[in-house]
């Protein structure tokens, strides 16, 4: 039942023929897990909370950074350094006291994904990396939970609904992950601040439609939204038996090619003895022109073709980029060409 206060809170839903009191009761009964309280997670959480989804889980082990404030609209300068999941839940509770929040200050992992997903009706993926997307997909398939997918890249976003009934999964659309150098995250290439707001709102919309049983769900369809041209298109795709999931993989980071397979050192420690290493910067030229710590410069995209140019005059080479992802991929390439050289990845990159 809805209380008098809830009826007032949701009055604009109640007068919609497609939702009404029955639809609002479905929202109140629903349990939704949101993966990530960042760019996509913030609008998803805001609109699901405002809509009256009864139980919302938030899983995120990150803290608020000042660079987040350009797009992660649940936070303020006063929240810098605080847990995103906790801060989001506290603020959202003020928006709607009728919603119950469960906070998980941890990463989604192979160890916890199945047990977490089993507690919820719908999973919304607001993550920003391929390892979590593949893990979320596989866990949702195994637990038979619909997965609301969203992704952003510079000025463009994508939305789809996976595992809805007998619909296709993420692996049907993307059977294999792209190479790390082909898929940098927003900390490396930037993102338009309003884009996650648009895509996250569309994810929330799909979630509400699914809960209330209204409209046409984006199952077996991928919506692509271009903010620069203000255009969108919907592509159809099909379920494939090759994408069938029977168990979780042991290591999704390794599967996506982003696992660091070399020694890591903090930048400060490396700078104390720079003369002991050959340095290789695998960022783009414009990044190097802004700041660098010296050494040779060969962008990752050209490394395979310029492998013979690499300076191997010293026994140890330090490879660096902005976040540590491109340098990890570069080290994989370099190890094959120069097995006798020891490689060090700058932990976290230059930041």
Catalytic member of 172, 212, 256, 321:
321
Give the integer Cα–Cα distance in Å for 129 and 252: 11
Q: In this predicted model, which residue has the larger pLDDT, 244 or 200?
A: 200
pLDDT recorded at residue 261: 54
Q: What is the mean pLDDT of residues 266-276?
A: 85
pLDDT given at position 184? 64
Q: Is 42 a catalytic residue?
A: no
Give the per-residue pLDDT at 181. Answer: 57
Question: Do the strands 147-153 and 100-104 form a parallel or antiparallel pair, or are they unpaired?
Answer: unpaired
Question: Considering Cα of 52, then 55, then 59, then 63, what sign does the dihedral take?
Answer: positive
133-153 per-position pLDDT tens digit: 999 999 999 999 999 999 999
The long-range contacts involving 9-17, CB below 8 angstroms and separated by at least 24 positions, are 9/52, 9/96, 9/98, 10/51, 10/52, 13/51, 13/52
- Is the pLDDT score of 244 beyond 90? no
Q: What is the mean pLDDT of the chain?
A: 92
Residue 212 annotated in active site: no
In this structure, the chain runs to a length of 351
Residues 283-299 have pLDDT tens digits of 888 889 988 999 999 99
Shortest CA distance to 10 belongs to which of 2, 18, 93? 2
- Is residue 35 within 8 Å of 170, Cβ to Cβ? no
**pLDDT, tens digit, 9 for 90 and up, residues 192-233:** 999 999 999 999 999 999 999 999 999 999 999 999 999 999
- Calculate ∠ Cα 120-206-253, nearest 5°: 60
- Which two three-digit tokens encode residue 62? 């990150």
**Spatial distance between the Cα atoms of 146 and 159, rounded to a whole number of angstroms:** 13
Catalytic residue among 42, 172, 186, 256: 186
Q: Are strands 316-320 and 342-346 parallel, antiparallel or unpaired?
A: parallel
Strands 147-153 and 156-162 come out as antiparallel
pLDDT score of 240 more than 80? yes
- pLDDT of 304 higher than 60: yes
d(CA 88, CA 128): 18
40-49: average pLDDT: 98
- From the list 116, 120, 235, 125, the residue with the least C-alpha distance to 172 is 235
Lookup: tokens for 232: 């969108």
Strands annotated E in the chain: 31-35, 55-59, 100-104, 122-125, 147-153, 156-162, 221-226, 231-236, 263-265, 278-281, 296-297, 316-320, 342-346
Q: Average of pLDDT values for 3-22?
A: 97
pTM greater than 0.85:
no
Q: If 0-12 CB within 10 Å is exposed, 13-18 middle and 19+ buried, where does residue 231 land?
A: exposed
Provide the pairing of β-strand 156-162 with 231-236: unpaired
With a cut of 70, say whether residue 258 has pLDDT above it: no
* Res. 350 pLDDT band, cuts 50 70 90: confident
162 or 252, which is more confident? 162
- What is the rounded average pLDDT of the residues 64-90? 94
Whether 339 shows a pLDDT value over 60: the answer reads yes
Quote the percentage of the chain above a pLDDT of 90.
Answer: 71
What pLDDT is recorded for position 116?
97
Cα–Cα–Cα angle for 299, 305, 307, nearest 5°? 80
């Amino acid at each position: 039942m809805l209380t008098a206060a809830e009826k007032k809170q949701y009055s604009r839903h109640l007068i919609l023929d497609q939702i009404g009191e029955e639809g609002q009761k479905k929202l109140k009964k629903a349990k939704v897990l949101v993966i990530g309280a960042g760019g996509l997670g913030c609008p998803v959480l805001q609109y699901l909370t405002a809509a009256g989804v009864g139980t919302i889980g938030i899983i995120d082990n990150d803290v608020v950074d000042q660079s987040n404030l350009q797009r992660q609209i649940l936070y303020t300068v006063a929240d810098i350094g605080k847990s995103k999941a906790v801060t989001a839940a506290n603020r959202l509770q003020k928006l709607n006291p009728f919603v119950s929040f469960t906070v998980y200050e941890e990463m989604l992992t192979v160890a916890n994904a199945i047990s977490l997903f089993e507690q919820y009706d719908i999973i919304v993926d607001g993550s920003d990396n391929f390892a979590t997307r593949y893990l979320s997909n596989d866990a949702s398939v195994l637990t038979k939970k619909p997965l609301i997918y969203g992704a952003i890249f510079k000025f463009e976003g994508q939305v789809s609904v996976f595992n809805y009934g007998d619909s296709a999964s993420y692996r049907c659309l993307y059977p294999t992950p792209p190479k790390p150098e082909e898929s940098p995250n927003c900390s490396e290439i930037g993102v338009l601040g309003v884009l996650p707001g648009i895509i996250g709102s569309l994810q929330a919309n799909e979630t509400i439609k699914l809960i209330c049983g209204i409209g046409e769900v984006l199952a077996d369809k991928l919506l692509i939204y271009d903010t620069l041209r203000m255009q969108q298109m919907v592509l159809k795709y099909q379920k494939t038996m090759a994408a069938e999931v029977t168990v979780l993989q042991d290591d999704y980071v390794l599967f996506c090619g982003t696992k660091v397979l070399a020694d890591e050192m903090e930048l400060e420690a490396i700078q104390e003895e720079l003369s002991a290493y050959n340095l290789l910067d695998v960022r783009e030229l414009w990044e190097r022109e802004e700041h660098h710590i010296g050494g040779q410069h060969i962008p990752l995209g050209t490394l395979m073709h310029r492998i013979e140019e690499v300076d191997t005059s010293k026994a140890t080479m330090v490879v660096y980029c902005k976040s540590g992802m491109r340098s990890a991929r570069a080290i994989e390439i370099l190890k094959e060409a120069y097995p006798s050289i020891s490689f060090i990845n700058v932990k976290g990159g230059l930041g």
